[in-house]
């Protein structure tokens, strides 16, 4: 049972859905949507206020790689203007991470007020992340001018596959999508149902960027290569 798996040069995927970059000692986390339970309560939903075990999984990934930097690849939080308990929990988690590594945030569409709400913390906030031929962006916009040989690291899509048992029960399992040109990370949030790649084509801009890709599902305890050379084009 594989907990870590190489999915490209210097790129190691973890069963939690995190991605480690050996060249920079960076651990990437996409679509954490921290504070989701609290944000939904503020919007009138009566679901349980819980983190769904996200902190435990995050710390497990940090322990597995001991990174120099933890990079949130967009949609770090779920909603702006957190209520006191929501803010306290998010800040507490970020500060506990800062004890172990530098923390950086690439802003996604859910992070429109992140710098206002959490910019007082000692972390880096940016629109994109670069290292040589690697460019990390959230993925809601793909209008950057980048070198032709660049490899994109993207969140936003929440890729997943649906599996069914003999009784008809189904579950969506998050998955990495990996091609020569891009790596799409699964949503780290346990509350993100995911875009089922078996139900239909990817969003056109993502599909065009990826080209033929491989699928690596992650269960939290295991990662494996499910299918090679899938293409929506």
- CA atoms of 93 and 225, how far apart (whole Å): 31
Task: Kindly report, residue by residue over 179-194, the tens digit of the pLDDT.
Answer: 999 999 999 998 887 8
Q: What is the pLDDT of residue 42?
A: 76
pLDDT, average across residues 200-217: 90
pLDDT at 29 over 70: yes
Whether 146 and 154 have beta carbons less than 8 Å apart is answered as no
Task: Kindly report, residue by residue over 30-70, the tens digit of the pLDDT.
Answer: 999 999 887 877 776 666 677 788 999 999 999 999 999 99
pLDDT, average across residues 69-88: 93
Task: Kindly report, residue by residue over 100-116, the tens digit of the pLDDT.
Answer: 999 999 999 999 999 99
pTM of the complete model? 0.92
Phi, psi of 60, rounded to the nearest 5 degrees: -65, -40
pLDDT at 233 over 70: no
Using CB atoms within 10 A of its CB, is residue 121 exposed (0-12), middle (13-18) or buried (19+)?
A: middle
Phi, psi of 161, rounded to the nearest 5 degrees: -125, 145
Both tokens assigned to 154 = 């993207």
> Distance between terminal CA atoms of the chain?
32
Task: Kindly report, residue by residue over 139-161, the tens digit of the pLDDT.
Answer: 998 877 777 889 999 999 999 99
pLDDT, average across residues 83-109: 95
Q: What is the pLDDT of residue 161?
A: 92
Q: What is the pLDDT of residue 46?
A: 66
How far is CA 208 from its chain centroid?
20
- CA atoms of 44 and 47, how far apart (whole Å): 9
Mean pLDDT of the chain: 90
């Amino acid at each position: 049972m594989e907990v870590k798996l190489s999915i490209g040069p210097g790129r190691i995927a973890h069963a939690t859905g995190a991605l480690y970059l050996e060249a920079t000692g960076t651990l990437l986390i996409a679509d954490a949507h921290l504070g989701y339970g609290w944000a939904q309560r503020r919007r009138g939903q009566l679901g349980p206020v819980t983190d769904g075990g996200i902190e435990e999984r995050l710390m497990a990934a940090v322990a597995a790689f001991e990174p120099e930097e933890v990079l949130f690849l967009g949609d770090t939080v779920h909603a702006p203007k957190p209520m006191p308990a929501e803010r306290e929990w998010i800040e507490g988690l970020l500060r506990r991470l800062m004890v172990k590594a530098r923390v950086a945030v690439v802003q996604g569409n859910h992070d429109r007020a992140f710098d206002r709400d959490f910019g007082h913390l000692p972390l880096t906030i940016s629109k994109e992340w670069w290292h040589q031929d690697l460019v990390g962006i959230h993925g809601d916009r793909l209008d950057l001018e980048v070198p032709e040989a660049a490899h994109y690291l993207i969140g936003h899509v929440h890729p997943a596959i649906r599996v069914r048992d003999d009784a008809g029960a189904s579950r969506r399992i998050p998955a990495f999508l990996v091609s020569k040109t891009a790596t799409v990370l699964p949503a780290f949030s346990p509350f993100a149902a995911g875009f089922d790649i078996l139900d239909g084509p990817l969003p056109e801009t993502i599909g065009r960027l990826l080209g033929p890709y491989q699928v690596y599902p992650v269960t939290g305890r295991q990662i494996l290569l499910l299918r090679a050379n899938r293409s929506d084009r």
